[in-house]
Structure 1
Amino acid sequence: MTTRRTSDLQLIENCLREAQYSELPGYRQNKVRDSYELPGGRRLLISTDRQSAFDHVLGVVPHKGQVLTQTARYWFDETADICPNHVISYPDPNVVMVKDLAMLPVEIVVRSYLTGSTNTSLWPSYDRGERVLYGHEFPDGMRKNQQMVSPIITPTTKPMDGGHDEPLTEAEILDSQLVTTAQWEELREKSLKLFARGQQLAAEKGLILVDTKYEFGVDEYGAIVVADEIHTPDSSRYWLADTYQDRFAVGDEPDSLDKEFLRLWVMERCDPYRDPIPEIPLETLMEFSNKYIALFERVTGLTFEEPDPSIPVRTRIHDALAKALPEYF
């Protein structure tokens, strides 16, 4: 892993908390990404260092935005033969210029293990005694983090107003025509193929791609395009393959390189859906950052290039945007 040149406190202070640039039109802030709607059917996505979980922004994590953008870049490149993606260019390590799609109102979550900690995850519902989840029947006697016979799709709503995701079944999607029958069949097929490619390449790097979330849109020609991010540690679970079996056998949580680390830290201290979430210590945020960097390096085979600490991330992005979009600066 890359050797740090700056102190942890300096890294936190240099985090990208927001990416609002007054020169650009159509600004919108989401939980992690800030975006701009540009002419010509384009959208600019800037991954900040904000960290969200349980529908809250919990703080900032050094290098997180860069890790997300560059990890997604690897996976977009590696899966372009399966499904077209929205990428046009990468003006900066935190920034991607994309096609502005008509986003579909369904998120496709593919899962191959009975796990999770959030309200839309499988394990909490199974642990409460539910045996039909997202339209799939589960047998009695399964354990947390157990592999399922084959991957399944567990779709959720994608609220356009930033609300909560809600579980869906295939029947509900088709009955309500959230997407057309033809679109659903294509989404299901492409999602399973994308996930299979992800699991294959992750396994070659000693990782288990446990589950993931895909978002799709439709371009001006009616083609389905994968968007947002793909197989990042924010949208996916990754476990270390060489320790999974031993830890599962004794009931320990798997060694992970993903967002679940922070979710579990929070849940050990409060009920995140009812209680105030405590402030996360600096050392915990740095451990989390190291996990994301380790995931990037392991997946891509590249060494993470830590940005120049003498240049604020926000300033670097501003300069990159001025070069990419001189008509606005």
Structure 2
Amino acid sequence: MSAPPLPGYRHIYSGKIRDLYRPEGSDDRLLVVASDRISAYDHVLDTPIPDKGRILTAMSLWWFEQLADLMPNHVVSTDVPAAVTGRAVLVERLEMVPVECIARGYLTGSGLAEYRERGSVCGIPLPDGLQDGSRLPEPLFTPTTKAAMGEHDESVDFAYVVDVVGAELAERVRTLTLEAYARGEAIARERGIILADTKFEFGVRPDGSVVLADEVLTPDSSRFWPRDQWQPGRAQPSFDKQFVRDWLASPESGWDRSSDEPPPPLPDGIVERTRRRYVEAYERLTGDTFAQQVS
């Protein structure tokens, strides 16, 4: 899945989902293009999800506006080449903070696994008796490393972040992460969605100010659960790519996650139902109707 050429831009990097380009003649801007690729279990799947890049871009732009009074963001313009209209933004080129800034308000995923083993999440002790899906006493800042493609992010404690970026910046990104989560959780709750956890990324401008970057509060970077179906003690229905993870982990997929084999292609039915979940998350949160692009 190579990044397509764009006249006037030089491709410089491709991640699991996004392709980065540098405008010719500019060193302080980047074009970030969201593809329809989907990843799970540290693999980029062969099967794209139609419209996913447009949904992620539109949702991020909407959330950037909701968080604008809390912190600046990296968006410069949505005036982008016609070939990537709707799924690309022109952004500031920043020095990225080299950790994933994760906020957790509910116990699930890797946090649940650690809690069951040690009674903590990222080394933070938690009360006894919590279950899969339990709301935590207060949201936690649970950073991880930024792993290379195909490798696992590793949970780290706050002391690690201090060692990597210094005490002042570590405290700043922790505060911003928890503030942004609190705002996002409250907005989502009003719209019938539980924001269980989410990942933020931050960059630093040359003047030292911290800027919200990458994507924000999307189904790729967050766990969204229907509020009216929340029931601790079991896996929760979701609006995010947990739906794809669950299929890959099921006998139906025939895939052994512990093997060296790549995941199988997604069936058409799984693709359509996944797309539907992304669209529903967008429409519930923003209140807007997602318009399918007409080619």
The answer to whether the superposition gives a TM-score over 0.5 is yes
Distance apart, 1:215 and its partner CA: 0.6
- The unaligned stretches of length 5 or more in structure 1 are 1-16, 312-329
Deviations 1:229-251 (A, max 9, x none): 00000000111111213xx3xx4
Identity of aligned residues (%): 39
Of 85, 97, 111 in structure 2, the residue corresponding to residue 104 of structure 1 is: 97
Residue 244 of structure 1: aligned partner: 230
Distance apart, 1:40 and its partner CA: 4.1
CA contact (8 A) 2:198 2:222 kept: yes
CA separation of 1:140 and 1:252: change in aligned 2, threshold 3 A: closer
Give the Cα separation in 2 of the matches to 1:209 and 1:132. 20
CA contact (8 A) 1:198 1:209 kept: yes
- The unaligned stretches of length 5 or more in structure 2 are none
1:230 aligns with 2:216: yes
Give the Cα separation in 2 of the matches to 1:264 and 1:79. 31
Give the Cα separation in 1 of the matches to 2:160 and 2:268. 44
Moved over 6 A (4+): none
Residue 20 of structure 1: aligned partner: 4
Give the Cα separation in 2 of the matches to 1:181 and 1:275. 40
CA contact (8 A) 1:69 1:95 kept: yes
Please provide the CA RMSD for this pair: 1.7
1:57 aligns with 2:39: no
Scaled by the length of structure 2, the TM-score of the pair is 0.90
Residue 255 of structure 1: aligned partner: 237
**Match runs of 1:169-208 below 5 Å:** 169-174=157-162, 177-208=163-194
Deviations 1:70-103 (A, max 9, x none): 0001000110111111001113210111001111
CA contact (8 A) 1:135 1:170 kept: no
**Bigger Rg, which one:** 1
Residue 61 of structure 2: aligned partner: 73
CA contact (8 A) 1:19 1:46 kept: no
Give the Cα separation in 2 of the matches to 1:105 and 1:161. 15
Distance apart, 1:196 and its partner CA: 0.6
Give the Cα separation in 2 of the matches to 1:161 and 1:101. 21
1:36 aligns with 2:24: no
- For the residue of structure 2 that corresponds to 1:50, the secondary structure is coil
CA contact (8 A) 2:122 2:142 kept: yes
